[in-house]
């Protein structure tokens, strides 16, 4: 009985340490690969907990291998945009300018009832007041209302400016050509941006986004 208790505690602490090493994002929100990892770890840990005839390392070694593989994949997703897309997918815009994109909903197997339930959960009952509804890669729906529908604007009577959805143009020093074309911009425009913000090389740019109003958000790499 004591041995079973100690084995359970050891495995429990081992898994907690491993999950903590993966970072806070993995703890708070599960991507598909992380959900699979959680299910596999739970299954692997339960066997040596229940069967004292199985050596403890028979559970620890495969769990350690899975955690190591996950950390390697996390590094690859940070370094490669294509690999990140392959592993995590892309966010889908299911509501645009108050209108439901039925094709995107079919692609993501999202029903109207599920969409409305998500909107109600965030305090929105009228689709016409939603500028963008974005189904994130973790399955959550992000809602961006029209500027005049935002609570602070309504309460204070402030004049609002609609900027639209920002699109990432440079991510960690890499240019996203498709997003650049989607905004109707070209490389000659992009070449001027780092210099205008005091950074002459786009490889030293950590993040650059452009919204629908042409507003630029610029973040250089740390130390640059």
Mean pLDDT of 66-93: 80
pLDDT at 212: 80
**Angle 33-87-38 from CA coordinates, rounded to 5°:** 5
Q: How confident is the model at residue 171 (pLDDT cuts 50, 70, 90)?
A: confident
Q: Do the beta carbons of residue 176 and residue 126 sit within 8 Å?
A: no
50, with CB counted inside 10 A (0-12, 13-18, 19+), is: exposed
| 15 alpha-carbon distance from chain centroid | 23
Mean pLDDT of 126-130: 80
SS3 94: strand
Q: Do the beta carbons of residue 38 and residue 30 sit within 8 Å?
A: yes
pLDDT at 20: 61
Q: Do the beta carbons of residue 210 and residue 169 sit within 8 Å?
A: yes
Q: Would you state the structure tokens that stand for residue 222, as one six-digit string?
A: 């740390």
pLDDT in tens, 196-222: 777 667 778 888 888 888 888 888 877
Q: Which of 210, 224, 214 is nearest to 171 (CA)?
A: 210
CA distance 168 to 142: 17
Distances (CA, A) of 81 to 26, 69, 85, 171, 211: 18, 18, 6, 9, 21
Question: With 80 as the cut, is the pLDDT of residue 141 above it?
Answer: yes
Mean pLDDT of 145-170: 65
Question: With 50 as the cut, is the pLDDT of residue 27 above it?
Answer: no
Cα Rg, the chain, nearest whole Å: 23
Mean pLDDT of 111-129: 83
CA distance 72 to 40: 17
Question: With 70 as the cut, is the pLDDT of residue 28 above it?
Answer: no
Q: Do the beta carbons of residue 93 and residue 86 sit within 8 Å?
A: no
SS3 133: strand
pLDDT at 159: 55
SS3 38: helix
- Beta sheet of 92-96, edge-to-edge order: 99-100, 92-96, 130-135, 141-145
């Amino acid at each position: 009985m004591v041995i079973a208790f100690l084995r359970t505690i050891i495995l429990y602490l081992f898994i907690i340490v491993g999950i903590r090493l993966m970072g806070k994002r993995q703890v708070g929100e599960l991507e598909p690969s992380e959900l699979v990892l959680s299910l596999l770890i739970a299954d692997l840990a339960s066997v040596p907990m229940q069967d004292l005839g199985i050596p403890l390392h028979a559970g620890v070694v495969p769990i350690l291998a899975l955690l190591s593989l996950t950390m390697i994949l996390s590094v690859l997703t940070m370094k490669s945009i294509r690999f990140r897309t392959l592993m995590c997918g892309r966010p889908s815009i299911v509501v645009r300018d108050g209108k439901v994109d039925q094709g995107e909903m079919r692609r993501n197997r999202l029903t109207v009832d599920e969409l409305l339930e998500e909107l109600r959960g965030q305090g929105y009952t009228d689709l016409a007041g939603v500028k963008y509804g974005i189904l994130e890669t973790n399955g959550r729906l992000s809602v961006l209302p029209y500027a005049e529908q935002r609570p602070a604007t309504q309460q204070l009577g402030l004049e609002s400016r609609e900027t639209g959805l920002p699109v990432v143009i440079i991510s960690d020093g890499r240019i996203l050509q498709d997003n650049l074309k989607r905004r109707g911009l070209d490389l000659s425009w992009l070449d001027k941006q780092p210099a205008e913000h005091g950074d002459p090389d786009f490889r030293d740019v950590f993040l650059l986004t452009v919204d629908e109003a042409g507003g630029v958000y610029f973040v250089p790499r740390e130390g640059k």
